[in-house]
Every structure is written in C-alpha cells, then in structure tokens.
Structure 1
Amino acid sequence: MTEKLTDSYDVVVVGGGAAGLSGALTLARARRSVAVIDAGAPRNAPAQGVHGLLARDGMPPAELLERGRAEVRGYGGHVVTGEVATATRDGDGFTVTLADGRTTRARRLLVTTGLVDELPDVPGLRERWGSDVMHCPYCHGWEVRDRAIGVLASGPMSVHQALLIRQWSADVTYFTHTMPPLTDEQAEQLAARGIRVVDGEVAGLEIVDDRLAGVRLADGTVVAREVVAVATRMVARAGFLTALGLVPVAHPAGVGEYVPADQYGVTDVPGVWAAGNVTDLAAQVGVAAAAGATAAAHVNADLVNEETRRAVEAHRNPVPA
C-alpha cells in the first residue's frame, strides 16, 4: 500500500471518493504522477450499499473505494491518508499542506472533497442516518418501497422530495415541522397525490427495539412511520481553498453551498479543477465518477498544452552546446 507522499506531483487530487479515484485513475493511466489525499470520511459511509451504479449495484461503499484505490495504485498513483489543511499558490503551481505538517507540491489540483450533510436539529435523525432515515429516493427508494414513509420538511426542496418519494410508496406523510405554510399550489399537489400533511413541530423520532416506529410531534402525538426522508443542507468541504480565493457559494436552489465549476470542472482559480459533490451537490456515485474522469482528462490536456508551449519555445531557442 502506497502511503508515502513525495515532494511533488503533476496533479494532487484532494478527496478519495468516487470522483477523486476516478480522476486519479484517468491521470495515472495518462502517465501522470498523481497523489490522492483522502481524509477517510466518505459521505456515504453509513449506507449499506451503493445503488444505481451499473455492474456494482448494492456494493458496500467501503469495498467500492478499496477497489478504486487498488486500481489507482496499480498504475503507479499514490493514495495517501491525510487531511489537507491548506493549498497555496507556489509560482506556477501549488503547495499542499496537510494537517499533520506534511507538504507536497502540485502543478495542478483536482478538488473532489465532497460535502457534509447538515441535518435538522431533531433528536434521532443523525443516529438513524443511513438506515431508516434517508435523503435520496434514487439511492434508497427501492429498499423502502411500499413502506410507511414520512417526509420531514426542512428546506425549499422538501415538497419536491415528497412528490418524488410518492413514486416508491403510496403511504407518504408530509410533516411541515417548522417550515413556512404550504402554498395553495403545493397543498393541492400533495393532496392530489394522496400525501397526508401533518402540521406541527417535530420533537423527535420514536424508536422501538432499535427500529424507527414513528415521528413524535411537540404535542406528544406519535405518527407511525417506518422510514423518514429529509432533505439535508449540503455544504461543500472546501475550507482549505480559502487562501486561493476559492470559497463555496450559496446554491441557486437554496439547498446549501458548492464550489462553482463548469462542465469540465474548471473553477475560477487557474490550475484548480473540481468534480463530484463538492461542485454538484446532487450527483450520485456514477455521475461523480464520470465527472472526475472528465475533469482529469481536461487537466491532462491542460498540462500537455503547457508542455507543448515550453517545448516549442525550447525548439525555437536552443541552448548553445
């Protein structure tokens, strides 16, 4: 296992999830020196399996990542455990400093650090997260099909989430919690789809025999539910980029903060690319992996262009023997 961090690389990939490992694999196969620095805190760690990923549906997240690390290492890439504290401009490249004091230099950066899910302050949500508390019906809807599902209103996309989840179950209850009243249009949509609306603040989840039994309201009423869905506030992990002037901004849909990048992963900071959930908050594993590969190909092309310019200059101005 390669844990050594050398002095410099063509590319340092910050974050070792699907996007980062896919990007690193593409770069390593392009014969680039590449290091993946990963803090070891994947967003999907609580999930039992990765779903919707062709040929790997249901694979445990840890197994998927371990296979990815092995593939990157098989092409000579380095995969290093560590947390990046800062990234700073260093001439025409970057200095990357880890929290434990180690440093390395990179000609280019690929940021794939993902995001953090911020849950409402409701007792039981965090403890049940990844089991009977879910957020993405495309990721886990099949596993909870036809069960009694509660949707906890927590943001601007909550009604949309409830309407989506109705595709997987006819027994859906929407809890307004502390959100503003439904608009007439929203109320009509929920009613038309047979989604019950329960008003009142949610005080916590009712757990019986280590299973979710219901949603408890502030007035003590318990509404029986087997699963709770909640739209989290998603925040990009990007604090280490502050010195470069690259900071997360509010997402236009009001669902959190992300690092802006174009379709190829290009950010506002020259030499820095971003891929996966750090820039696309809704990306599933397959989409994140594809984005990592796409960004990596453009990073490699950028390096080739730089090397070609230098080669042309040297060709025009040969050093006298």
Structure 2
Amino acid sequence: MREMDCIIVGGGLAGLQAAIQLGRYSAHQVLVIDAGEGRSTLCRTYHNILGYPDGVSGQELRAIGRMQAEQTGVIFEQDRIIEAIRVPDEKIRLRGSSGTVYQAKTVLLATGLSDRVPDIPGLKPTLGRTVYVCPDCDGYEIQGRRTILLGAGEAGANMAMTLIERTAELLYINHEQTEISADLHRQMKQAGVRYLEAAVQEVQQIEDGRITGVLTEDGQVYESERGFIAFGGNRVHYELAEQLGAVIADNKHVEANPRSMQAAPQVWIAGDLGLHAEQATVAMGEGSIAAIWIHKELQQIVRK
C-alpha cells in the first residue's frame, strides 16, 4: 500500500498546478494518480492562457506540467481510482482499478467532467482547434465568422443565444432532433439564429483540423469556418467526493469553501468538479489555492 501526505486524483490542469505548488514546499510526499483522460487531453489549442498568444495544446501543457512537478519530487502513477473511504488514524484510503491501494493524510480531487460528444466522424480531431465547447474561453474565436453549432435540444438552443452575440452567421443544427420550447424557438428566430433539425453524418475538415463544414444525412453540405458543440448531459465525476462526505449540488458539481477549496475534512477539490466557470485558467488557480491550504493542514498535522 502506498502511503503519502497528499494524493491528487486527476492529472489535468487543476491537478498539475496543485502538484507544482505542493511540490515546491519541499516538505510533503505527493502522488498524482491520473487515468490519462479528461478535457485537457482533447483540446488541441487553448487560446486564452497567459503566455501562449498563439495557443497551446492540452497535451503539451500536461507534459510540461508533469515535468515541472516531477522536478520538485512529485510522483505520478497511471490508474483510475474507483473507491475512496475513511480509515482509522484520520487517513483516506483509495482503491484503483489496477487493484493498488493508496493511503494519504489529505486528498485533492481534480476529477473534472466529461463532455458528451457524439461519435460523429471528423468531430474529435477539430475540438479545441476550430470547434469549441466554452463560449467564455473561445467565443472570441468565432467573432464575425461563419459558425455551425452542433447540439441537442435546449442545451444547443441556449448556447445559440449566447453565440449569436459573437457572429450573425450562426447555424444551429439540432443533431439529435430533441425538443425545444416554443419560447426558445421564438428567441432564436428573433435573434437571427438559423435553425435546422438534421442528423450530422460527418464534420468536414482540412488536414490541420480546421472545420470546413458539415455533411448531413440527407446529403446536404453546410459550409463553416468555425464550430461549437452543446449536447448537454455532461458527466461530472463526483462519486469519490460523495464517498468522502462532500456536499453534491443538484447539478452533480461539488460544493466547497470558496476561500480554501475544501469540500470535506481532509478533502479538497479543484477544477471542473466544482461549482464555477469551467475554464482552464480558473482550474489552475483553484489548484494552487487548494494546495496552499493542504500545506497548512499538513503543517498542523506535523505539529500535533
């Protein structure tokens, strides 16, 4: 059984920033357990991160972040944590799908969420390159450009009402042809959103992952310079937090103290798992905040 001062579950941007902060105290044994998935593995280009005016991929940030954390002594292991329990002596025990058991004085959960992305040929290679999920992060990228929003029902309709502020050339294709209220239909029409109910057969692109249009199942091609997706039903990975006694909100995100990011005794969270704007830069900030308070907790444990 691996015994650590702090275990960080999740090696995305929140978990990595926390690992770097904790490692730099040079006082704690820190382990990052990562399943190798998550939003940052899919995003080909973040455009709104300080220091990267031309953009940086999630994979590159993860590689740099891991190297930076390892230089401070942080250990990494690939595994998927499937169970978390409290054990005597105020420890938390984690069990991985590999069968390995880990134990720590403190835990940071940075398990995030998974976007619901239908298996449409050509879609995933464009994500984070010219097709986006977050209007706060990447609304700038569609400014004044011909844009297709692929979505489902009211999740897509609400996104369309946000995006129409960025471009008048917006087509919302309700790929799953799910219901939209009459009021939302009226709002979209008044705002100038073009609307189509049709299953998408393929996202067309050129070699570098730039979208050029979509092909619907009736053989029609709709040209586009940029794209967005909004299918709703994203899955928040809250289960470990719930097992450790954290409060889970109605939308399945985890509640935490906004000052310290503590969600339960000996448990902190950071990133898209929590109740906040889902942005990489916010996730990194929360990782640092959580790490600072974990350090304070570990100092108190030593003094007891």
Q: Which TM-score bucket, shorter chain as reference? A: 0.7 to 0.9
Q: Look up the SS of the partner of 1:68 in the other structure.
A: helix
CA-CA distance at 1:16 after TM superposition: 1.0
- Aligned in 2, Cα 1:143/1:77: closer, same or farther, shift over 3 Å? same
Higher mean Cα deviation, 93-102 or 285-294? 93-102
Report the Cα distance in structure 2 between the residues aligned to 1:203 and 1:65, rounded to whole angstroms.
32
Partner of 1:24: 19
**Normalising to structure 1: TM-score of the pair?**
0.78
Is 1:202 equivalent to 2:186 in the alignment? no
Deviations 1:288-314 (A, max 9, x none): 000011112222223334444x2xxxx
Partner of 1:43: 39
Partner of 1:317: none
- Aligned in 2, Cα 1:228/1:279: closer, same or farther, shift over 3 Å? same
Partner of 1:254: none
- Aligned in 2, Cα 1:176/1:243: closer, same or farther, shift over 3 Å? closer
Partner of 1:314: none
Is 1:291 equivalent to 2:286 in the alignment? yes
Which residue among 66, 86, 89 is the counterpart of 2:83?
Answer: 86
Q: How does 1:226-237 map to 2 (within 5 A)?
A: 226-232=225-231, 233-237=233-237
- Aligned in 2, Cα 1:284/1:155: closer, same or farther, shift over 3 Å? farther
CA-CA distance at 1:162 after TM superposition: 1.8
Partner of 1:277: 272
Partner of 1:224: 223
Q: Look up the SS of the partner of 2:40 in the other structure.
A: coil
Partner of 2:169: 171
Partner of 1:134: 132
Q: How does 1:1-321 map to 2 (within 5 A)?
A: 7-30=2-25, 31-57=27-53, 58-91=55-88, 92-120=90-118, 125-126=123-124, 128-154=126-152, 156-176=154-174, 178-184=177-183, 186-187=184-185, 189-198=187-196, 200-205=197-202, 207=204, 212-216=211-215, 221-232=220-231, 233-240=233-240, 243-244=243-244, 250-251=250-251, 257-263=252-258, 264-267=260-263, 269-280=264-275, 282-308=277-303, 310=304
User: Higher Cα Rg: structure 1 or 2?
Assistant: 1
Q: How many residues align?
A: 296
CA contact (8 A) 1:239 1:247 kept: no
CA-CA distance at 1:194 after TM superposition: 2.9
CA-CA distance at 1:189 after TM superposition: 4.2
Q: Percent identity?
A: 28
- Aligned in 2, Cα 1:179/1:247: closer, same or farther, shift over 3 Å? farther
Higher mean Cα deviation, 288-297 or 131-140? 131-140
Which contiguous aligned blocks of 4+ residues in structure 1 show a shift greater than 6 angstroms?
208-211
In structure 1, the gaps of 5 or more residues are 1-5, 252-256, 311-321
Q: Look up the SS of the partner of 1:79 in the other structure.
A: strand
CA-CA distance at 1:86 after TM superposition: 2.1
Partner of 1:316: none
- Aligned in 2, Cα 1:212/1:7: closer, same or farther, shift over 3 Å? closer
Higher mean Cα deviation, 76-85 or 211-220? 211-220
Report the Cα distance in structure 2 between the residues aligned to 1:118 and 1:259, rounded to whole angstroms.
19
CA-CA distance at 1:272 after TM superposition: 1.2
Q: What is the one-letter code of the residue matched to 1:181?
A: I
CA-CA distance at 1:108 after TM superposition: 0.7
Report the Cα distance in structure 2 between the residues aligned to 1:304 and 1:202, rounded to whole angstroms.
56
Q: What is the one-letter code of the residue matched to 1:90?
A: V
CA contact (8 A) 2:149 2:173 kept: yes
In structure 2, the gaps of 5 or more residues are none
Q: What is the one-letter code of the residue matched to 2:268?
A: W
- Aligned in 2, Cα 1:289/1:213: closer, same or farther, shift over 3 Å? closer
Q: CA RMSD in A?
A: 3.0
Report the Cα distance in structure 1 between the residues aligned to 2:80 and 2:247, rounded to whole angstroms.
18
CA contact (8 A) 1:265 1:274 kept: yes
Report the Cα distance in structure 2 between the residues aligned to 1:242 and 1:298, rounded to whole angstroms.
21
